[in-house]
Amino acid sequence: MQKSYEVAVIGGGIIGSAIAYYLAKEQVDVAVLEEGQIGLKATSAAAGMLGAHSELENEVKAFFSFARYSQSLYSVLKEELYELSGIDLGFRKGGILKLAFSKRDKEKLAMVLAQPTVTWLEPEEVRNLEQEVAPNILGAAYIEEDINVLPARVCQAFAKGAQLYGASIVEHTKVLRIKKQQDMFQIETTKELIKAKRIVIASGVWSTPFFRQLGLQYEMIPVKGECIAVESAHFVLKHTIFHDKYYIVPRNNGELVIGATMQENDWSEQVSLNGVETLIQKAKALFPAIGQMNIKASWSGLRPQTFNQKPFIGYHPEDNAILFATGHYRNGVLLAPATGEMIASLILRRDVKQEWVEEFQVGGLFRR
Ligand SMILES: Cc1cc2nc3c(=O)[nH]c(=O)nc-3n(C[C@H](O)[C@H](O)[C@H](O)COP(=O)(O)OP(=O)(O)OC[C@H]3O[C@@H](n4cnc5c(N)ncnc54)[C@H](O)[C@@H]3O)c2cc1C
């Protein structure tokens, strides 16, 4: 018999898995349809910074309040998901030091420094926190509240939690086409035909064909990012160091993740020598001692970017049975809990802050 669900989520990255978790927790009959395995695409490539302030250069308002809210949900989820799934999210406190090397750098931090939770540190104060930091800094914005997690673990925990609440996680099943007949969606996959009353597109950078099939002309732009992980018995970094979109993130096991390059419109998923070279140069400029560490791993992933660099989280403009949660670009790990909760609330017809609905509406505030 043809399988039928209340909600089918297309894509089992951190976004699709979070949505399934929040829906299943409310007893909604939900399935995640995933082409490969849960969480192996952009989600596994992420460094896992929950840097609500990190992207705060031009804009405060809705995006920032959503990011801060999502970050706060992690404090609850780390216990809740661990108790339910037995998976440790690798939650790590310590904060982020956003370094400034020039007056221009400091000016760019103005928005960040205007937040009551952020402190400006002089070079000596930065060195009291991180002895080996670059000697030529002008100072740093210290964001003590920013945390990091292990993104693949978070995704696994959401998926397992969802499953324990009754969701179906259907791996190795690529969705090929979606059609609406009467009030049901017919979802053609590589394995079988599936029916659902509502669908959520959470297919990351691969969402473009679904926009087309559902009558919209938006495109997802891939922004390739490469990372390397290094380790050393001698140098320990306690805080994440960040400058000009590059960063070094300490893990609980002593490894440091150096990230990340940014190549727009590059669909390749290999790690290039140029990418590694850029990362090493950048990391040495921030934390010279890193040159003595050993490379342990390298990887890459494709960030899903929309034309306005904001995620689309909400209803299809003409059909409330179709929802999108895609285009989370540099912040999908940070925004996953709030995205999952928001999509679940929209489906369950619960209140969602109007400023978030407007900020993330499909196609942006001024639809194209
Ligand atoms: C190098 C790098 C570093 C990053 N660092 C951070 C960070 O520190 N903090 C942060 O918040 N964010 C970070 N990000 C961004 C974050 O990784 C993404 O925003 C997030 O993973 C997007 O999640 P997603 O679920 O939308 O996409 P994905 O994880 O790519 O998941 C989409 C899923 O959909 C599936 N799919 C696609 N098409 C189909 C189909 N037709 N049928 C079925 N399944 C399909 C795919 O197989 C995939 O599993 C980083 C990204 C990169 C690349």
223 has pLDDT over 70 = yes
CA of 14 to the centre of ligand 1 (A): 7
pLDDT of residue 232: 78
Rounded distance, CA 180 to CA 2, Å?
16
pLDDT of residue 69: 96
Q: Taking each helix axis from N to C terminus, what angle separates 332-347 and 151-164, rounded to the nearest 10 degrees?
A: 20
Rounded distance, CA 125 to CA 235, Å?
19
Distances (CA, A) of 143 to 36, 60, 98, 152, 219: 37, 16, 8, 24, 34
Q: Is residue 229 lining ligand 1, measured as CB closer than 6 Å?
A: no
Q: Is residue 310 lining ligand 1, measured as CB closer than 6 Å?
A: no
pLDDT of residue 5: 98
pLDDT of residue 94: 86
Asked if residues 92 and 257 have their Cβ atoms less than 8 Å apart, the reply is no
Q: What is the DSSP letter of 13?
A: S
- Of the listed ranges 39-43, 90-94, 187-191, 231-235, the least confidently predicted one is 231-235
pLDDT grade for 172, boundaries at 50, 70 and 90: very high
22 has pLDDT over 90 = yes
Q: What is the percent of the chain where pLDDT is above 70?
A: 97
Q: Is the pTM of this model over 0.85?
A: yes
Asked if residues 218 and 326 have their Cβ atoms less than 8 Å apart, the reply is no
Which of 71, 256, 330 has the most ligand 1 atoms within 8 A of CB, as the residue to mutate? 330
367 has pLDDT over 60 = no
Which of 9, 15, 91, 207 has the most ligand 1 atoms within 8 A of CB, as the residue to mutate? 15
Q: Is residue 85 lining ligand 1, measured as CB closer than 6 Å?
A: no
Burial class (CB in 10 A: 0-12, 13-18, 19+), 234: exposed
253 has pLDDT over 60 = yes
Q: How many CA atoms lie within 13 A of 170 on its CB side?
A: 20
- For ligand 1, atom 16, name the residue with the nearest CA: 332
pLDDT of residue 285: 97
pLDDT grade for 363, boundaries at 50, 70 and 90: confident
Q: What is the DSSP letter of 288?
A: G
- Of the listed ranges 83-87, 91-95, 209-213, 309-313, the least confidently predicted one is 91-95
pLDDT grade for 55, boundaries at 50, 70 and 90: low
pLDDT of residue 27: 98
pLDDT of residue 272: 97
CA of 114 to the centre of ligand 1 (A): 31
Q: Taking each helix axis from N to C terminus, what angle separates 61-85 and 332-347, rounded to the nearest 10 degrees?
A: 90
Mean pLDDT of 261-274: 97
pLDDT of residue 365: 62
pLDDT of residue 56: 67
Q: Taking each helix axis from N to C terminus, what angle separates 151-164 and 61-85, rounded to the nearest 10 degrees?
A: 60
Distances (CA, A) of 250 to 37, 39, 97, 233, 262: 27, 21, 12, 13, 21
96-145+221-305 homologous superfamily:
D-Amino Acid Oxidase, subunit A, domain 2 (3.30.9.10)
Rounded distance, CA 207 to CA 325, Å?
10
Q: Is residue 55 lining ligand 1, measured as CB closer than 6 Å?
A: no
Q: Is residue 222 lining ligand 1, measured as CB closer than 6 Å?
A: no
pLDDT of residue 123: 97
Mean pLDDT of 326-352: 97
Beta bridge mates, 120: 141
Asked if residues 155 and 13 have their Cβ atoms less than 8 Å apart, the reply is yes
Residue 332: CB partners within 8 Å, gap ≥ 6?
A: 13, 14, 15, 42, 43, 46, 204, 303, 304, 311
pLDDT tens track for 61-75: 899 999 999 999 999
CA of 283 to the centre of ligand 1 (A): 24
Q: Is residue 162 lining ligand 1, measured as CB closer than 6 Å?
A: no
Domain positions in the chain are 3-85+151-220+308-359, 96-145+221-305
Distances (CA, A) of 335 to 38, 96, 125, 339: 18, 18, 31, 6
pLDDT grade for 235, boundaries at 50, 70 and 90: low
pLDDT of residue 317: 95
The CA-CA-CA angle for residues 112, 117, 121, to 5°, reads 70
Q: What are phi and psi of 110, to 5 degrees?
A: -55, -45
pLDDT of residue 57: 63
Quote the distance between the C-alpha of residue 32 and its chain's center. Answer: 18
pLDDT grade for 233, boundaries at 50, 70 and 90: confident
Which of 9, 19, 21, 34 has the most ligand 1 atoms within 8 A of CB, as the residue to mutate? 34
pLDDT grade for 161, boundaries at 50, 70 and 90: very high
pLDDT of residue 351: 96
Residue 215 is encoded by which pair of tokens? 């009558």
Topology of 3-85+151-220+308-359 in CATH?
FAD/NAD(P)-binding domain (3.50.50)
Mean pLDDT of 88-114: 94
- For ligand 1, atom 12, name the residue with the nearest CA: 331
Mean pLDDT of 91-117: 93
Q: Is residue 337 lining ligand 1, measured as CB closer than 6 Å?
A: no
The CA-CA-CA angle for residues 20, 25, 27, to 5°, reads 95
Whether the bond into 260 is cis, omega within 30 of 0: yes
* Mean pLDDT, the chain, integer: 94
